[in-house]
Amino acid sequence: MKRKPNLLFIGIDSLRRDRMSLYGYSRLTTPHLDKYACSGAVWDSCFSPSIPTTPGYASMITGRDCFGTGIVAFRHKGSYAPGIKTLPEILVENGYAAASVGLTGNPAARGFDRDLDYKGWSTWKDGRARKAGNLNAVAIPELRRLAAQDKPFFLFLRHLDPHSPYLPPEPYDRIFYAGDEFNKKNRSLEKTYAFKPFCDYFRSWFPPGCTDAGYIKSQYDGGIAYMDACIAVLLEEVKVLGIEDETLIVITSDHGESLDEHECWFDHHGLYDCTLSVPLFFRYPARIPGGARFGDMVTLKDVMPTVLDILGIKRKGMPTEGRSLLPRMSGGGLEQEDELYLTECTWERKHGWRTPQYKLIKALEPDFHYKSEVELYDLIKDPGENDNIAAKEPAIVKTLLDRMERWIKKREKETGRTAPIFTSIHWHGREDRGPFTSSDEAYNTLHIGERTDVKTDAKEEETPGDNARNSKEQEMITKLKRLGYM
């Protein structure tokens, strides 16, 4: 019997689609992937509807939406909702060897034979980070080991270069920046340094005295370019091993990233498209024609069913909300999904509804950015989502809220449980309190990073008691470090 294809799955943390030259970005951030994509299929409109990392990977690896997985919060406790099977569990049952690199601590890691780690984090004091290089140092030997076995393999790699801290090594730190990041006349980081919940974290990895937000954004782009070069090394190894055409290669991301849009500085919260838009690429010449691009709107829950379909593994008894995209890539049709239910529990708890024209965002608790409880954006006239028209268009708000509420009730009935966005009241990591009752409470409670001695030239307001950390807050910081957020 013919051996089933291998699966090399590259999940890139915090990679927003519009910062890749593969998707038309003006900076040449992904030259190697641009070239490699000619041999596979690129999806131009893929979204991660439930952010951030934990629900993103959960959907990607199960084919289920947030109602199906039961996961919406970054700090989710436990595993999936009952009855869920993960992609590694299914593949192991079908004779695969399964290993992951960089997924330790995430529910998506359930089912792998081996869970390996690598050094993916640095502060300014640690020096420049070689995240993708460190990943290759672990992944390539594991790839060789798996390729030498007499059964197919599944290797999952979690890249972290686009995730803060953005500290790409030379020369990638300067390839997209020729200015003076210490120019005292530049005040573009002033509000960033003054944002108390994140300011200590930023001090830990921004160059001391940095004043230019453009420099920080160039580091994000430089990290993508460095990672792109390292992925090229990995893909060359696949070719050298002689398994390129018998290996399905998938590349995507768990969510995008906010840089300085919407004042959600250098993080992945906010239900704006910069945080929801992700790349998606499949390569397997035996079943997927090369050089194709597709504009249909798809989501991360479509990835797992597509993978199983390409690998020739039946999904009988394994329900998913996701669709297989293989028929579309093979010249057929695809049932369209034009509207999305959105959720986030990162640093704020919100949900929303996205149509081809409008984006509705509804806060379930006051957020630490002091934003409006209801936001409405016309995505055609205002693709950057900068003009909140909720007050001007109450009828549209009501229509979208009604659609969203009907969808929630439908999915609650189908799954037999309350929508997880309503039950995740300890999403913030504080067991001693429930939902926030004011933006002041959220602003003064949530915090990442530890007080440092690094000073900047930016003006900052010091609040009495900023140095105080009770034991619960310290526990939260420790958890964030363990989960790889710091």
* Residue 457 contacts residue 209 (beta carbons within 8 Å): yes
Is the peptide bond prior to 171 cis by the omega test (within 30 degrees of 0)? yes
Token duo for residue 181: 């990041």
Distance CA 486, CA 484 (A): 6
Distance CA 392, CA 146 (A): 58
- CA 201, 205, 211, 214 dihedral sign is negative
Token duo for residue 292: 């194709």
Distant-in-sequence, close-in-space partners of 107: CB < 8 Å, separation ≥ 6: 54, 57, 58, 71, 76, 78, 79, 80
Residue 170: helix, strand or coil by DSSP? coil
What is the pLDDT, as a whole number, of residue 460?
33
What is the pLDDT, as a whole number, of residue 450?
76
Distant-in-sequence, close-in-space partners of 426: CB < 8 Å, separation ≥ 6: 75, 434
What is the pLDDT, as a whole number, of residue 449?
84
Residue 320: helix, strand or coil by DSSP? coil
Question: 314-342 burial, b if ≥16 CB within 10 A, otherwise e?
Answer: eeeebebbbbbbbebbeeeebeebeebbb
What is the pLDDT, as a whole number, of residue 105?
81
Residue 267: helix, strand or coil by DSSP? strand
What is the pLDDT, as a whole number, of residue 1?
56
What is the pLDDT, as a whole number, of residue 65?
97
Distance CA 169, CA 252 (A): 23
What is the pLDDT, as a whole number, of residue 433?
87
What is the pLDDT, as a whole number, of residue 198?
96
Helices (H), 297-380: 303-311, 326-329
82-97 pLDDT tens trace: 889 999 999 999 999 9
What is the pLDDT, as a whole number, of residue 457?
34
Distance CA 301, CA 136 (A): 27
H/E stretch holding 390: none
Domains along the chain with CATH numbers: 6-337 (3.40.720.10), 341-423 (3.30.1120.10)
What is the pLDDT, as a whole number, of residue 451?
56
Mean pLDDT, 10 residues at a time, over the chain (486 residues)? 90 97 98 96 98 95 96 89 92 96 87 92 88 97 97 97 96 97 97 96 96 98 98 98 97 97 95 98 96 96 97 84 96 94 96 98 97 98 98 98 98 96 92 92 92 39 34 42 42
Distance set, CA 109 to CA 113, 214, 249, 268 (Å): 10, 36, 19, 21
